Amino acid sequence: MLNALRPALTRLLTPVADALARTPVTPNAITITGTAGMVAGALWLFPTGHLFAGTMVCTAFVLADMLDGVLARVKGTTGAWGAFLDSTLDRIADAAVFAGLTIWLVRTHQEGLAWVALFCLVAGMMVSYAKARAEGLGIACNVGVAERTERLLIALVPAGLTGLGVPYVLAIGLWALAVLSVVTFGQRVDAVRRGAAARPVPPVLAGNPGRDHGGEPDDPRS
């Protein structure tokens, strides 16, 4: 839903990218730095109860997730390796945020909410995997009410407010995110189902129904 803001953010970051384009800094270096910063902030500050500081650090480094792409376009160095690295490190950064929150919740004896945070972590991975697998099959899957930007926003804003002493907001945010992640996963599964139904069946699959679209034999026990 927040993808509509990307053009505005891109225009905002373009002058920074233009300046960096005149230096040896590469988009991949920004990607790695941004991920390292998020992981350090989330796994150091969140577990120790510095939720507001952790939110500020993570938010600052989230901007690197957009800056690397803008810099790549300015330098003309976009490619498969950069896209793969960016997507893969995004998963690591996301995992660090929810792992840090989970550790803090366990340490503060909020085990029930810790399970919700852990569920959000797993559900977010499944949402991202669904899109990646769909695109690997050549099916568009740009749908969902809670894409990565929304998921981080719903997690980090309540975490920061909790750090400022606002009660109950983290619980509301995590429960809302858990529900929205399930809805988004369902939307993507449905989009792939409809996309696959609209495509002709390749001859190799039509003649070999015992294999799925990934080329692996179906398990007769499933």
The model's confidence at residue 202, banded by pLDDT at 50, 70 and 90, is low
Nearest 5°: CA angle at 47, between 42 and 53?
55
pLDDT per residue over 59-114, tens digit each?
Answer: 988 877 778 888 888 888 777 888 888 889 999 999 999 999 999 999 999 999 99
* Within-domain flag for 39: yes
Q: Note the pTM of the prediction, 2 decimals.
A: 0.82
Of 18, 90, 212, 218, which residue is the catalytic one? 90
CATH code at position 96: 1.20.120.1760
* Within-domain flag for 95: yes
Instruction: Compute CA 151 distance to the chain's CA centroid, rounded to the nearest angstrom.
Output: 7
> Helix or strand or coil: residue 72?
helix
* Within-domain flag for 207: no
* Within-domain flag for 33: yes
Query: Which residues share a beta bridge with 217?
Result: 211
Token pair 């905002």: residue: 12
What residues make up the domain containing 40? Answer: 2-198
pLDDT of amino acid 58? 93
> How many domains does the chain fold into?
1
Contact criterion met (CB below 8 Å) for 114 and 102: yes
Average pLDDT over residues 20-41: 90
Q: Is 90 a catalytic residue?
A: yes
User: How many helices (H) and strands (E) are present in the chain, helices listed first?
Assistant: 9, 0
pLDDT > 70 fraction of the chain, expressed in percent and rounded:
87
pLDDT per residue over 188-200, tens digit each?
Answer: 999 999 999 887 7
Q: Which amino acid is at 13?
A: L
* Within-domain flag for 204: no
* Tally of residues, the chain: 222
pLDDT of amino acid 11? 78
* Within-domain flag for 219: no
pLDDT of amino acid 111? 96
Residue 12 burial by CB count (10 A; 0-12/13-18/19+): exposed, middle or buried? middle
Looking at per-residue pLDDT, the higher value among 22 and 221 belongs to 22
CA distances from 96 to 5, 11, 127 (A): 25, 29, 17
Average pLDDT, the chain: 85
